[in-house]
């Protein structure tokens, strides 16, 4: 079930990188397509200019008009970390700029679903807004924008998701993925789009003499970094600049109280934070609010300037995240048990795998789909009951299968089989009639088979090659940690090699701790997280020889630091 292979990345032959750069970093950067020293410059002056983002001028003019008129603005956010950081960024900056009335609402995913629906517009109307600003949603909200127009409310759409065949009739739309938008980076997260719009607005208000104070939007780059990393958008150079600059501010202590409190609650030192801390620790805590409760908790945590309040809210988010972990593990075990039963009937699993259980929680199905995808190496959809007639789910895909296009094809070929869907190449959300589940499962599998074959359903671990013995050190681990930001499409370095096992032990029933060495070299600690989640996980014993693919990390414990190998792949060699 965990059939995988290691494939080594090939560094670019034409990369010309600084001569004083560590040789290992040269190899790593070249394998990620970095060809020139300028591509490693991550100053704010290297960002793609704001003027190149289509729709910004119209958005700024609209906001300036409401500024002059003292209009009421309601921000409609999304219920994930990108939506929470986007909402907090826009609310903070509009307040700093002196807008008369700024409020926000975020849809409860279980009651309203995703996006600017007519129901959300009617809820927003109770605040008597003159303008609705969406963040991280809205590009597919045709009916919602029409409802706002009917109620006499203007809309400004800021989003980054892929649009459908038609665009909403909003007063202004800012989305790098909208048709004909000239912005060269299509990878901006929702919070990145919000940052660009607020940067342009700040500059324009100051140039018109409407705001004389200092309110640099760069002060809020900690929120941009958090939302960008948590949303798993590709870290192209523009996004790396945003994340790098945000991390610099966090390390210097210049972050909002909520980010500080969330890092404290996850035992992460402010001055040593890296992108993976945002992605694996802070992002899940924020997302837990949207998955199990109400994202308003997360947004309030990011909006407060009172550290005591932020710590109280961060503690609530930590408890929700622990509940989410327990629920996710239970659902994941149920999903894998269902797959074992399916394989007992037919060893050839569907290439498009769609799973449903009546007891599953709809706020956690995306995480389950992601975990199962990692295990079976094919697109996975996990569905839960939304109401008596509707199922809601999340899809996660693999390289080479554009999941939104797959769902689009199913919707066109099987009218009515999908009620709503949207998303990206690698992730999507959808709802469908419960009585058409079997039809959808067959149609999804058939469409995925047009994109991949059974031979493609092998997990590939991409490696940067082997490390020499003298490179398995704490200094090299620190160097790699500091040389990011690493993330989606600019992955943290992984290395591979064969090692002798000196000792093993089990941690918490799920994790395997190893002591390994290369020949007569000093032993190094290694840990394989969730190793025993897989029923087919290999047993490892002292004196075995193993092939590992691993990340080199700094293990901080009780005030000491040690080098540690974090195992991504393990095979006991013959």
196 and 123, same structural domain?
A: yes
432 and 546, same structural domain?
A: no
Question: pLDDT tens digit string along 553-572?
Answer: 998 887 789 999 999 999 99
190 and 166, same structural domain?
A: yes
Domain with 512, as residue range(s), is 460-572
Position 388 in a domain: yes
**Average confidence (pLDDT) over 188-196:** 98
CATH number for 430: 3.10.310.30
Position 2 in a domain: no
pLDDT value of residue 520: 80
Q: How far apart are CA 58 and CA 249, in angstroms?
A: 31
CATH number for 122: 3.90.1640.30
Q: What is the dihedral of CA 537, 541, 547, 552, to 10 degrees?
A: 90
518 and 400, same structural domain?
A: no
Q: Report the relative pairing of strands 545-557 and 353-356 from DSSP bridges.
A: unpaired
CATH number for 552: 2.40.50.460
Position 353 in a domain: yes
Residue 10 CB-density burial (10 A; 0-12 exposed, 13-18 middle, 19+ buried): exposed
447 and 487, same structural domain?
A: no
Position 34 in a domain: no
Mean pLDDT of the chain: 93
359 and 314, same structural domain?
A: no
Q: Kindly indicate the confidence band of residue 185, based on its pLDDT and cuts at 50, 70 and 90.
A: very high
Position 81 in a domain: yes
Question: pLDDT tens digit string along 426-468?
Answer: 889 999 999 999 999 999 999 999 999 988 888 899 999 999 9
Q: How far apart are CA 559 and CA 341, in angstroms?
A: 47
Question: pLDDT tens digit string along 307-350?
Answer: 999 999 999 999 999 999 999 999 999 999 999 888 878 788 99
Q: Quick one: which of 313, 303, 238 has its CA closest to 94?
A: 303
User: How far does CA 481 lie from the centroid of its chain?
Assistant: 20
* pLDDT higher than 70, residue 1: no
Classify 556 as helix, strand or coil: strand
The count of structural domains within the chain is 3
Of 280, 303, 319, the domain-final residue: 319
Position 332 in a domain: no
420 and 300, same structural domain?
A: no
523 and 420, same structural domain?
A: no
217 and 131, same structural domain?
A: yes
Position 438 in a domain: yes
**Average confidence (pLDDT) over 381-403:** 94
Classify 302 as helix, strand or coil: helix
Question: pLDDT tens digit string along 47-90?
Answer: 999 999 999 999 999 999 999 999 999 999 988 999 999 999 99
Q: Quick one: which of 381, 351, 376 has its CA closest to 366?
A: 381
Of 457, 486, 507, the domain-final residue: 457
Structure-block tokens of residue 196: 């660009």
483 and 431, same structural domain?
A: no
pLDDT value of residue 2: 56
**Average confidence (pLDDT) over 16-31:** 94
74 and 135, same structural domain?
A: yes
Q: Quick one: which of 301, 288, 259 has its CA closest to 91?
A: 301
pLDDT value of residue 240: 98
Choose between 174 and 1: higher pLDDT. Answer: 174
Of 416, 442, 457, the domain-final residue: 457
pLDDT value of residue 214: 80
Position 394 in a domain: yes
For the entire predicted model, the pTM comes to: 0.92
Query: Do 526 and 564 meet the contact criterion of CB atoms below 8 Å apart?
Result: yes
pLDDT value of residue 225: 98
377 and 314, same structural domain?
A: no
């Amino acid at each position: 079930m965990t059939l995988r292979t290691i494939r080594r990345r090939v560094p670019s032959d034409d990369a010309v990188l600084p001569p004083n750069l560590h040789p290992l970093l040269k190899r790593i950067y070249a394998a990620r397509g970095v060809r020139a020293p300028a591509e490693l410059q991550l100053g704010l002056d290297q960002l793609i200019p704001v003027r190149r983002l289509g729709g910004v001028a119209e958005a700024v003019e609209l906001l300036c008009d409401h500024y002059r008129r003292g209009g009421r603005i309601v921000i409609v956010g999304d219920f994930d970390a990108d939506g929470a950081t986007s909402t907090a960024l826009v609310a903070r900056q509009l307040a700093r700029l002196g807008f008369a009335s700024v409020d926000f609402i975020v849809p409860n995913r279980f009651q309203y679903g995703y996006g600017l629906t007519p129901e959300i517009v009617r809820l927003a109307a109770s605040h008597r807004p003159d303008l609705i600003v969406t963040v991280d949603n809205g590009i597919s909200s045709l009916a919602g924008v029409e409802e706002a127009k009917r109620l006499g409310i203007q809309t400004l759409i800021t989003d980054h998701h892929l649009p459908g065949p038609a665009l909403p009739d909003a007063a202004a739309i800012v989305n790098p993925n909208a048709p004909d938008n000239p912005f060269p980076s299509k990878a901006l997260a929702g919070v990145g789009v919000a940052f660009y719009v607020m940067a342009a607005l700040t500059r324009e208000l100051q140039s018109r003499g409407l705001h004389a104070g200092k309110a640099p939007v760069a002060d809020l780059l900690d929120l941009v970094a958090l939302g960008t990393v948590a949303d798993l958008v590709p870290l192209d150079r523009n996004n790396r600049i945003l994340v790098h600059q945000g991390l610099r501010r966090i390390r210097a202590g210049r972050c909002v109280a909520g980010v500080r409190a969330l890092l404290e609650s996850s035992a992460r030192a402010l001055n040593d934070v890296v992108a993976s801390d945002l992605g694996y620790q802070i992002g899940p805590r924020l997302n837990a609010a949207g998955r199990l409760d109400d994202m308003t908790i997360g947004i309030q945590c990011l909006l407060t300037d009172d550290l005591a309040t932020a710590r109280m809210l961060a503690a609530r988010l930590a408890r929700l995240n622990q509940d989410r972990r327990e629920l996710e593990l239970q659902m994941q075990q149920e999903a894998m048990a269902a797959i074992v039963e399916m394989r007992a009937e037919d060893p050839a699993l569907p290439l498009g795998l769609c799973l449903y259980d009546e007891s599953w929680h709809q706020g956690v199905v995306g995480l389950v789909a992601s975990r199962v995808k990692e295990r079976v190496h094919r697109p996975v959809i996990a569905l839960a009951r939304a109401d008596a007639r509707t199922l809601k789910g999340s899809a996660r895909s693999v390289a080479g299968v554009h999941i939104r296009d797959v769902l689009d094809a199913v919707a066109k070929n099987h009218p009515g089989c999908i009620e709503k869907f949207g998303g990206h190449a690698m992730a999507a959300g959808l709802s469908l009639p419960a009585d058409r589940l079997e039809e959808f499962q067959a149609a999804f599998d058939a469409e995925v088979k047009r994109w991949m074959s059974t031979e493609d359903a092998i997990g590939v671990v991409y490696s940067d090659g082997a490390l020499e013995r003298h490179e398995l050190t704490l200094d090299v681990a620190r160097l790699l940690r500091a040389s990011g930001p690493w993330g989606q499409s600019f992955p943290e370095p992984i290395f591979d090699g064969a090692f002798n096992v000196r000792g093993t032990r089990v941690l918490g029933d799920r994790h395997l701790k190893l002591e390994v060495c290369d020949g007569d070299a000093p032993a190094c600690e290694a840990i394989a997280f969730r190793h025993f989640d897989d029923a087919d996980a290999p047993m490892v014993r002292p004196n075995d020889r193993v092939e590992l693919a691993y990340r080199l990390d700094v293990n901080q414990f009780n005030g000491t630091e040690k080098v540690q190998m974090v195992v991504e792949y393990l095979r006991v060699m013959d």
